[in-house]
């Protein structure tokens, strides 16, 4: 029998702990179940992992480990492949049904690609082949733990989005309740009651409209345009500081430009911020006629972040001043629901993006990805998107997806990913899992996840993973696919020389419509050479 752990030396007596260490032992970093029917292997694994400050439980029977898992949570399951009654693959599959988030590592003496593919299909997160050393075990366990933390971060992001949706529903119910209270208020006149009802219905519709908008700039312009029409305002200006810079929107409905609002707006908002109702109205003389200036403060998490101001003709005796004041006081509530969702969504996306970028950097540092490839693809994809004429928002999404297009390679075993030269057919099948894994990692980003999943699709239907054709491939995926191919062609690899730029462009031209998305490839071919 080959030695299991030739690099480990478990002889000798450990040094006696100091008094400080006895008083404050370090907490375990994670809980680990070790399942193996060979006592010596179990004890060796347990000893090594405990030295790494893991909380280790050992089992000789897979069924016993499974029952224990039903009662107690566990972070990592390490199991041998060959065991009586229930083998390692069967145990991993059953464990995933009991604890879906448990990380699983398969130990096997048969280091074949078929075994790796079968392990991944049964839900194994990684595997390690005998014999192996302490460094090998530490790397695999750390990789599985980091992947689990990343999945938990994604789940937390999903929970935050769901919380935002619940908040929106609660706010909508609150507006509905106010609507019912207004209708039940018999002290209001019929005219006042109908006016209040219309205002609340207006605010509810505005809340729903803004909540569906995923771009802050468009959200503010939509609000300014709707309020300009509703209040018959000459000009409406919104200015908000959301923590990532000041966002402004201004809508002019008067034929005469009125820049005075930009100058007087901050003073009006300062006055509004000091009042309990957060709103102020004043009559000013401007452009040879009396005008009414209105200002209302917008708050997020009870903190003022700016507000909206407007100018309109001065009211007359028949105007419904009180009704307008009531409606204006509700506008910040409608805006805050959508803005808080935006702020929370951006924070969740920034956190997830940092995690994904750290994975890309780790892959480049360990040699799994060629250094700088992802950044070059992102830059080129942005230039292609601009050449096509895509919107700034979509261009930004494409650049982010291009930067992270290979993040799924974190789920591919090193012995396959780092192989130089041609791969076997089963190894190619494993490599082709990376767009799927990447899209799962980037699921909170919506469009970006779809672009990553499909960036290896081809117009002729011979791509992967879903064999989409030209009309089915998202434009962002087509842009990333042609940008990645171009960068790969002009970059040297251990198994081939690089092409010149002219040769690479000729290759792309020859394969446009079969391998490369037509619109994306034609845009790349039309780029200024300085942008390539």
Q: Is there a cis peptide before residue 465, judged by omega within 30 degrees of 0?
A: yes
1 is a domain residue:
no
Lowest average pLDDT, out of 55-64, 114-123, 238-247, 491-500, goes to 114-123
The C-alpha atoms of residue 256 and residue 286 are separated, in whole angstroms, by 11
Lowest average pLDDT, out of 168-172, 289-293, 342-346, goes to 342-346
Region 66-94 average pLDDT:
90
Q: Is the pTM of this model over 0.95?
A: no
- The greatest distance separating any two alpha carbons of the chain, rounded to the nearest whole angstrom, comes to 100
Domain of residue 49, CATH code: 3.40.50.2300
Q: What percentage of the chain reaches a pLDDT higher than 90?
A: 21
Q: Domain tally for the chain?
A: 3
Domain of residue 374, CATH code: 1.10.3210.10
438 is a domain residue:
yes
Q: Could you give the C-alpha distances from 163 to 210, 442, 495, in angstroms and in order?
A: 17, 19, 50
DSSP state of 492: -
**Structure tokens of 391?**
């919107």
Looking at the fold, whether 108 and 239 belong to one and the same domain comes out as no
Determine the length of the chain.
532
Close Cβ partners of 433 (under 8 Å, ≥ 6 residues apart): 120, 408, 411, 412, 465
What values do phi and psi take at 243, rounded to 5? 95, -15
506 is a domain residue:
yes
The sign one gets for the Cα dihedral 214, 217, 223, 229 is negative
Q: Is the pLDDT of residue 152 over 70?
A: yes
* pLDDT tens-digit series, residues 235-260: 888 888 877 778 888 888 776 666 66
* pLDDT tens-digit series, residues 296-352: 888 887 788 888 888 888 776 545 556 577 777 777 877 777 777 766 666 666 666
Q: Could you give the C-alpha distances from 505 to 52, 203, 399, 532, in angstroms and in order?
A: 52, 54, 21, 10
* pLDDT tens-digit series, residues 344-383: 666 666 666 676 667 767 666 655 456 678 889 999 999 9
Closest C-alpha among 501, 503, 447 to residue 479:
447
Domain of residue 194, CATH code: 3.30.450.40
Assign 3-class secondary structure to 336-366.
Answer: HHHHHHHHHHHHHHHHHHHHHHHHHHHHHHC
Close Cβ partners of 243 (under 8 Å, ≥ 6 residues apart): 343
Looking at the fold, whether 311 and 426 belong to one and the same domain comes out as no
Region 96-110 average pLDDT:
86
């Amino acid at each position: 029998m080959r030695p299991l752990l030739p690099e480990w030396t478990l002889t000798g007596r450990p040094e006696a702990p100091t008094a400080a260490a006895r008083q404050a032992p370090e907490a375990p970093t994670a809980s680990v179940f070790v399942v193996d029917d060979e006592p010596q292997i179990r004890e060796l694994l347990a000893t090594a992992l405990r030295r790494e400050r893991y909380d280790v439980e050992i089992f000789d029977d897979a069924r016993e480990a499974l029952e224990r898992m039903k009662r107690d949570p566990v972070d990592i399951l390490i199991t041998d492949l060959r065991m009586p009654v229930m083998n390692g693959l069967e145990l991993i599959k059953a464990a995933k049904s009991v604890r879906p988030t448990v990380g699983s590592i398969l130990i096997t003496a048969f280091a074949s690609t078929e075994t790796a593919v079968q392990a991944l299909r049964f839900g194994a997160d990684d595997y390690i082949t005998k014999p192996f050393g302490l460094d090998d075990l530490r790397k695999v366990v750390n990789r599985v733990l980091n992947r689990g933390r990343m999945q938990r971060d994604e789940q937390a992001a999903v929970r935050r989005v769901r919380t935002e949706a619940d908040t929106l529903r609660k706010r909508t119910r609150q507006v509905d309740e106010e609507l019912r209270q207004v209708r039940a208020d018999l002290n209001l006149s019929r005219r006042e009651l109908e006016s209040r009802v219309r205002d609340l219905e207006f605010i509810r519709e505005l809340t729903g409209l803004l909540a569906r908008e995923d771009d802050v700039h468009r959200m503010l312009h939509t609000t300014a345009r709707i309020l300009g029409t509703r209040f018959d305002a000459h000009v409406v200006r919104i200015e908000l500081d959301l923590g990532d810079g000041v966002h402004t929107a201004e809508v002019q409905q008067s034929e005469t430009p009125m820049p005075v609002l930009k100058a007087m707006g901050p003073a009006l908002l300062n006055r509004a911020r000091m009042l309990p109702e957060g709103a102020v109205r004043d009559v000013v003389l401007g452009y040879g006629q009396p005008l009414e200036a209105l200002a209302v403060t917008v708050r997020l998490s009870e903190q003022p972040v700016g507000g909206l101001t407007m100018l309109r003709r001065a009211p007359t005796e028949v105007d419904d001043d009180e009704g307008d004041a009531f409606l204006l006081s509700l506008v910040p509530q409608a805006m805050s629901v959508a803005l808080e969702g935006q702020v929370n969504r951006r924070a969740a996306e920034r956190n997830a993006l940092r995690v994904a970028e750290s994975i890309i950097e780790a892959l480049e540092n360990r040699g799994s990805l060629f250094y700088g490839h992802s950044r070059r693809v992102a830059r080129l994809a942005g230039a292609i998107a601009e050449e096509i004429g895509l919107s700034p928002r979509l261009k930004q999404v494409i650049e982010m997806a291009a930067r992270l297009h290979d993040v799924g390679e974190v789920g591919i075993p090193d012995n396959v990913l780092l192989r130089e030269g041609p791969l076997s057919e089963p190894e190619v099948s494993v490599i082709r899992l990376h767009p799927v894994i990447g899209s799962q990692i980037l699921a909170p980003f919506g469009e970006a996840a779809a672009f990553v999943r499909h960036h290896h699709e081809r117009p002729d239907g011979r791509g992967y993973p879903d064999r989409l054709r030209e009309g089915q491939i998202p434009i962002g995926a087509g842009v990333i696919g042609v940008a990645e191919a171009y960068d790969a062609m002009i970059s040297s690899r251990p198994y081939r020389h690089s092409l010149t730029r002219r040769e690479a462009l000729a290759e792309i031209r020859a394969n446009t419509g079969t391998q490369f998305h037509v619109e994306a490839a034609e845009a790349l071919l039309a780029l200024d050479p300085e942008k390539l």
